[in-house]
């Protein structure tokens, strides 16, 4: 007699396994979302980098060390430490002046330029020597701008307020200055400047009158002893049209009240430059080997006002 089959025991359906796997994956997914709720930037960057390496993402590898080169004997690099730059950024600038490299100048150009700078400095030193006491007191300032010497006379100790009458002490200083200016060539421009405070007196109708009168007073002293030729002089009253600083305070207004004596050396220096080039060229034709020595020695001897 055939045996009866054993009674099948009830079990878990097959779809439960798939469901359990899905639930496990969902749980891992939500755990991952929970971990992302507070991101550590450093760790995230590290993990992202590792993942990019694992998946072969193309990237730029910075060169931390620059190799010097390879040796024909040793098949290894000999790297040198990188040199940091002085500035963090480099900005491009433009200029209206014609670009000219110092290294491209000829020996003649360099000798002429050095001689003209030396002559200009000697002239400045001569003026500064005469005006040294007034400069120390802050009554006069001397500057050089593109082959022009500007002697700025402040109102302090030179003119009484609202007047064009020179003080006795400053008049003597101008007479000493005339002796120096006599030996310096070039045109002289005397400019009078005021602040923006209006003036209306019996003597001066406006700041134009005051500025012109002060400039004329300086010119009269310079030509008083016939040391400075009147044909070299030009007098200009500019009132408050060219202030040095804004007229926003009493201090600034005092700076704007001034007389400027401008000695223009551009013309005489250009003539001297032409003569010096001719001198150097003649010496160069006679003896090319002695150009670097004799031209420099003759420069200081031949160039004079």
How confident is the model over 184-206, as pLDDT tens digits?
888 999 999 999 999 888 889 99
77-80 and 258-264 beta bridge pairing: unpaired
Asked whether 107 and 291 are in contact (CB, 8 A), the reply is yes
The residue to which tokens 């006002």 are assigned? 305
3-state secondary structure of 153: strand
The arithmetic mean of pLDDT across residues 137-166, rounded, is 85
Q: What is the pLDDT of residues 53-74, one digit of tens each?
A: 666 655 565 656 555 555 554 4
> In the chain, where are the structural domains located?
120-264, 270-302
What pLDDT, on a 0 to 100 scale, did the predictor assign at position 238?
A: 93
* pLDDT tens, position by position, 20-29: 999 999 998 8
CA proximity to 257, closest of 152, 170, 145? 152
Asked if pLDDT for residue 303 goes beyond 60, the answer is no
Architecture in CATH of 120-264: 2-Layer Sandwich (3.30)
Find the range with the poorest average confidence among 2-11, 102-111, 167-176: 2-11
Report the DSSP beta bridge partners of residue 143: 150
Name the token pair of 20.
């359990």
Cα-based torsion angle of the residue sequence 290, 295, 297, 301 in order, rounded to the nearest 10 degrees? 140
Phi and psi torsions of 76, nearest 5° = -140, 150
Phi-psi region of 76 (alpha: psi -120 to 50; beta: other; left: phi over 0): beta
Here the tokens at position 14 are: 């097959």
How crowded is residue 174: how many other Cβ atoms within 10 Å of its Cβ? Answer: 20
Supply the pLDDT for residue 32.
Answer: 83
Q: Crossing angle of helices 291-302/266-286, nearest 10°?
A: 140
More confident residue, 68 or 298: 68
Whole-angstrom distance, CA of residue 36 vs CA of residue 156: 75
């Amino acid at each position: 007699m055939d045996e009866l089959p054993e009674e099948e025991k009830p079990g878990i359906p097959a779809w439960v396994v798939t469901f359990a796997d899905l639930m496990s994956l969902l749980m891992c997914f939500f755990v991952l979302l929970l971990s992302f709720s507070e991101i550590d930037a450093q760790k995230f960057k590290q993990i992202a980098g590792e993942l990019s390496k694992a998946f072969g993402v193309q990237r730029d590898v910075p060169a931390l060390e620059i190799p010097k080169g390879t040796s024909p004997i040793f098949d290894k690099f000999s790297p040198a430490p990188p040199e940091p730059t002085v500035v963090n950024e480099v900005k491009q600038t433009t200029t209206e002046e014609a670009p000219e490299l110092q290294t491209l100048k000829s020996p003649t150009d360099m000798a002429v330029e050095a001689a003209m700078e030396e002559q200009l400095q000697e002239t400045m030193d001569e003026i500064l020597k005469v005006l040294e006491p007034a400069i120390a007191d802050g009554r006069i300032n001397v500057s050089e701008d593109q082959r022009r010497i500007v002697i700025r006379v402040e109102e302090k100790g030179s003119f009484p307020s609202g007047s064009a009458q020179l003080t006795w002490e400053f008049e003597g200083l101008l007479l000493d200055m005339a002796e120096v200016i006599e030996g310096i060539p070039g045109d002289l421009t005397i400019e009078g400047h005021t602040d923006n405070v209006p003036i209306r007196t019996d003597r001066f109708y406006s700041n134009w009158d005051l500025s012109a009168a002060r400039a004329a007073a300086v010119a009269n002293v310079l030509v008083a002893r016939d040391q400075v030729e009147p044909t070299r002089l030009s007098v200009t009253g500019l009132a408050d049209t060219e202030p040095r600083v804004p007229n926003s305070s009493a201090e600034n207004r005092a700076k704007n009240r001034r007389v400027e004596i401008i000695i223009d050396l551009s013309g005489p220096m250009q003539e001297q430059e032409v003569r010096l080039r001719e001198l150097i060229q003649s010496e160069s034709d006679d003896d090319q080997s002695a150009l670097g020595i004799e031209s420099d020695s003759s420069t200081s001897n031949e160039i004079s006002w």
